[in-house]
Amino acid sequence: MGDYFHGSLVWTIEIPALLVLVLLCTVPVIAADIDISVEGPGISNWVFTPGTTNINSTSIILNVTSISSTWTVSVKDGLDFLKPPLTVGKMVEWDGSAYVTPNPWVLGTSMGIAGPSVPTKTTGASVILDGSNQIIESGLTPVNGLVMPLTISQPVTFHDPSLKGGHRYQVVVTFIAFAEGGPAPVITGIVPAEGITGTIVTVTNLSGSNFLPHSVAVLNRTGSPNINLTVTSVISTKMTGTLNLAGAGVGLWDVTVTNPDGRTGTKPQLFWIKYPSAPAIGSFGPPSGARGAKISIGVTGTGFQNGVIVNLTHGASVITAVVSQVTPTTITATITIPSNAPTGYWNLVVTNNDGQSAIRANAFRIS
Amino acid sequence: MNTYQHVVWAVPVTVLLIIFAGTAFADIPVNAVPELAGLSTTTSMDVQGTAMSNTAMNLQLGTGMLDNPPLENGGYLWVWWADVISPPIIGYTVDPFVASIYLLNGIQLPLGEVQYTAGYNEEVTAVSGNLIYQKTTGISTANKTSGEDNIAADRILTFTGEDGGRMTTGEDIIIDGTGAQTVSGNQAYCPFASDTNPFFPPFCNIAMSGSSADISTGSISTAAGVRVIAASADVPVTETYLINAKGVTMSAGYTNASGTVSAFMKAHVQEGIEQPVPREFASDPLGFIPVKAEDISYSETSAASGSINSFAKNMQYQSGIRLV
């Protein structure tokens, strides 16, 4: 994953008295022009001194009437975590965390995290109750820019029976941020390289390079909606997942991988969506025709689809039939034999619009 | 003076029946042309001295143009493959889908050609004796049913020679039928005629029968007939010939026939069957290929010479999808 570090913004709620809470920021923070606000019911007043250069020892004292309320703690502007410098073009990962009191408790917070070295792309975030693996909120919208507000807005009821009142638990806000300017993904292959329309295909190896966590892949082609790869795993050289081909159009599709920073890589016509069966020719006629003649022909067999193409071939010469009627087992078509067509036996080729074809040698004789 | 007399008291009385029947092996009669023709004659003579008579009849009829070989097969030509590696097989079909393709090309279903030639010849010469001769002959191009013939000839000859007088007579009737593969569906009323196959297989059959006699005394009756024209294939093609030779009753009583009498039948029967074309898929048209499946050569002759009490032979060739 390249260079990364874990930064944190930790709040501790102390309950020294029933109606007085103390919020402690336990992480060393250089706060230049820091602006913190606390809003919520039951707060009679709160104390914080703006302009403090280091708030890790600063208390925010809340006078509240009840602890079963929703409070919004906003930290805005000017935070600079104590962290090593970032390397542009590499992926970095950030963590945020805060202490909260246990059940019952409804959490409503918003946080602003900013700094001169924070990368410009984020993937969104999830809020997890640390130590219990309970997800409080996930799928938060990714944003661009140096400020990434996270709003934990939904009421939360803790389900973990191991949680106990009077204890402190940590809420971990995780997100991944990416710096712009990294290499674009490159696709070299996909296994399997084909699938049957209407089925679900498990992709065991979408191979390439420069894939990133949260990279996405799709099958795409002009005029058709994309088919998303539901990713199950990603490493820099391989993605796995499933493709739902329900209703998918047949034929060759491009494969495109998009990294979280927006860079894409495409390999054209890499994946083949087919009908369940290839066409097969069982019989054909009439057996012969004369140069210059326009004749109707018929083909019987199996697996014929609308859009099927019927060709007669003789070496490099090709006569394409005009198909007028198709059933799964019959094709009716018309051919016009050029006056200079080579005489002799011609091959019959039937090709469905998914690219699957059948050929019969010496099916038609031109005299 | 010793006199040698060769006497035959017991001579062949034979009934010969050659039958070919069924949809796999059978002659298929031709239908009558719109304009029908028929000729018939009756001859009667009672002659003391010299007499002669001869008859020649020939009938040729087909479902297509005569004398324009080869005969056209019935059905539509089509190409099949038995599997993915086998070479193409060309056969015939009456499948509705195939018919729709050919009709788009303006081609109606070819029914297949059949052509028949039938003939009858007869001659009689009598010198120095009394000849009583009755003959009826007929030829018709109309459709016939069972029991009727397109060529028919019945004769009765009674000869009593005097002073070395003799009568010689010869007679033969022939049926020569050839048919390509024909579509069976519209040719037979019998609903079972085409239940296994939409085609009647090709055939090439010839049968000839007749007799000859050289007698100084005797009475001979013959009946010959051929049927090749019928409204449907339900009526079999037939050739019948029978001869009965006996002595004569004179004032001194019954006297055996004296001389030589012979009768024969020859046939060469070549019949085909319809082999199904192997199909890869059940939805492919049913197809058939006509192949030769039977070859029969038959020849039989019976003769009596000397004093002949009785000589009788009844021969019949019958071929069709049903027999009578």
Helix, strand, coil percentages, rounded to 5, for chain A: 0, 55, 45
Chain-chain contact of B79 with A287 (C-beta, under 8 angstroms) = yes
Q: Is A155 on the interface with B (CB under 8 A)?
A: no
Q: Which residues contact A281 (CB under 8 A, 6 or more apart)?
A: A299, A300, A301, A348, A350, A358, A359, A360, A363, B81
Estimate to the nearest angstrom the gap between the alpha carbon of B238 and the chain centroid: 5
Question: Of A300, A334, A362, which is closest to B283 when you measure between CB atoms?
Answer: A300
- Residue A181 near residue A89, CB atoms below 8 Å: yes
CA distances to B75, B98, B154 from A296, rounded to whole Å, are 17, 10, 57
A183 prior amide bond cis, ω within 30: no
**Where in the sequence of chain A do the CATH 2.60.40.10 domains occur?**
186-274
How far is the C-alpha of B155 from the C-alpha of B219, rounded, in Å? Answer: 11
| Chain B CB contacts of A363 below 8 Å | 79, 88
Q: Is B283 on the interface with A (CB under 8 A)?
A: yes
Ranges of beta strands (E only) in A210-250 are 216-221, 224-235, 238-244
Chain-chain contact of B79 with A332 (C-beta, under 8 angstroms) = no
Chain-chain contact of B78 with A287 (C-beta, under 8 angstroms) = yes
How far is the C-alpha of B116 from the C-alpha of B203, rounded, in Å? Answer: 11
- Kindly indicate the confidence band of residue B27, based on its pLDDT and cuts at 50, 70 and 90: confident
Q: Is B179 on the interface with A (CB under 8 A)?
A: no
pLDDT value at position B317?
92
B191-194 LR contacts (CB < 8 Å, sep 24+): B193/B23, B193/B233, B193/B234, B193/B321, B193/B322, B194/B23
| Chain B CB contacts of A296 below 8 Å | 101, 104-105
Chain-chain contact of A298 with B100 (C-beta, under 8 angstroms) = yes
Disruptive mutation site among B101, B103, B107, B289 for chain A (greatest number of A CBs within 10 Å) = B101
Chain-chain contact of B80 with A363 (C-beta, under 8 angstroms) = no
Question: Of B76, B105, B281, which is closest to A295 when you measure between CB atoms?
Answer: B105
In degrees, to the nearest 5, what angle opens at C-alpha B156 toward C-alphas B152 and B161?
A: 145
DSSP B30: B
Ranges of beta strands (E only) in B228-247 are 237-246
**Where in the sequence of chain A do the CATH 2.60.40.1930 domains occur?**
280-366
**Nearest CA of chain B to the CA of A193: how many Å?**
26
**Nearest CA of chain B to the CA of A280: how many Å?**
9
Chain-chain contact of B285 with A301 (C-beta, under 8 angstroms) = no
Burial of A357 by CB count in 10 Å (0-12 exposed, 13-18 middle, 19+ buried)?
A: middle
- Residue A32 near residue A78, CB atoms below 8 Å: yes
Taking domain A280-366, whether its CATH number is 2.60.40.1930 is answered by: yes
Q: Is A104 on the interface with B (CB under 8 A)?
A: no
| Chain A CB contacts of B284 below 8 Å | 282-283, 300-301
Mean per-residue pLDDT pooled into runs of 10, chain A (367 residues)? 30 41 44 46 49 36 44 40 29 34 33 37 50 53 40 45 47 48 87 96 96 89 95 92 95 92 90 95 96 97 96 96 97 97 96 95 95
pLDDT of B257-294, one tens digit each? 999 999 999 999 999 999 999 999 999 999 999 999 88
- Which is more confidently placed, A65 or B134? B134
What share of chain B has pLDDT > 90, as a percent? 70
Disruptive mutation site among A281, A283, A350 for chain B (greatest number of B CBs within 10 Å) = A283
In degrees, to the nearest 5, what angle opens at C-alpha A341 toward C-alphas A337 and A342?
A: 135
pLDDT value at position B240?
95
Question: Of B76, B80, B87, which is closest to A282 when you measure between CB atoms?
Answer: B80
**Nearest CA of chain B to the CA of A249: how many Å?**
27
Q: Is A325 on the interface with B (CB under 8 A)?
A: no
Give the other-Cβ count within 10 Å of A362's Cβ: 14
| Chain A CB contacts of B79 below 8 Å | 283-285, 287, 363-364
Q: Is B276 on the interface with A (CB under 8 A)?
A: no
pLDDT of B146-176, one tens digit each? 889 999 999 999 999 999 999 999 999 999 9
Q: Is A327 on the interface with B (CB under 8 A)?
A: no
Q: Is A284 on the interface with B (CB under 8 A)?
A: yes
Q: Which residues contact B85 (CB under 8 A, 6 or more apart)?
A: none
| Chain A CB contacts of B77 below 8 Å | 285-287
Q: How many CA atoms lie within 13 A of B14 on its CB side?
A: 21
How far is the C-alpha of A359 from the C-alpha of A350, rounded, in Å? Answer: 6
Chain-chain contact of B88 with A360 (C-beta, under 8 angstroms) = yes
| Chain A CB contacts of B101 below 8 Å | 285-286, 296-298, 332
Q: Is B79 on the interface with A (CB under 8 A)?
A: yes
Please tell me the total number of residues recorded for chain B in this structure: 324
The residue written with tokens 């602006």 in the block is A35
> Model-level pTM greater than 0.90?
no
Could you tell me the two tokens for B323?
């027999």
- Kindly indicate the confidence band of residue B186, based on its pLDDT and cuts at 50, 70 and 90: low
Buried b (16+ CB within 10 A) or exposed e, A276-286: eebbbbbbbbb
Q: Is B272 on the interface with A (CB under 8 A)?
A: no
| Chain B CB contacts of A334 below 8 Å | 104
User: What mean pLDDT comes out for the span B207-225?
Assistant: 97
> The domain A186-274 belongs to what CATH superfamily?
Immunoglobulins (2.60.40.10)
Strand partners, A280: A302
Q: Is A145 on the interface with B (CB under 8 A)?
A: no
Could you tell me where the DSSP H helices lie in chain B?
96-104
pLDDT value at position A137?
52
- Residue A300 near residue A329, CB atoms below 8 Å: yes
Buried b (16+ CB within 10 A) or exposed e, A204-240: eebebebbbbbbbbbbbbeeeeebebebeebeeebbb
User: For chain B, what are the domain ranges?
Assistant: 7-68+114-320
pLDDT value at position A14?
42
Chain-chain contact of A362 with B87 (C-beta, under 8 angstroms) = yes
Please tell me the total number of residues recorded for chain A in this structure: 367
Question: Of A295, A298, A334, which is closest to B97 when you measure between CB atoms?
Answer: A298
pLDDT of B57-92, one tens digit each? 999 998 888 888 889 999 999 999 998 888 999 999
Strand partners, B62: B115
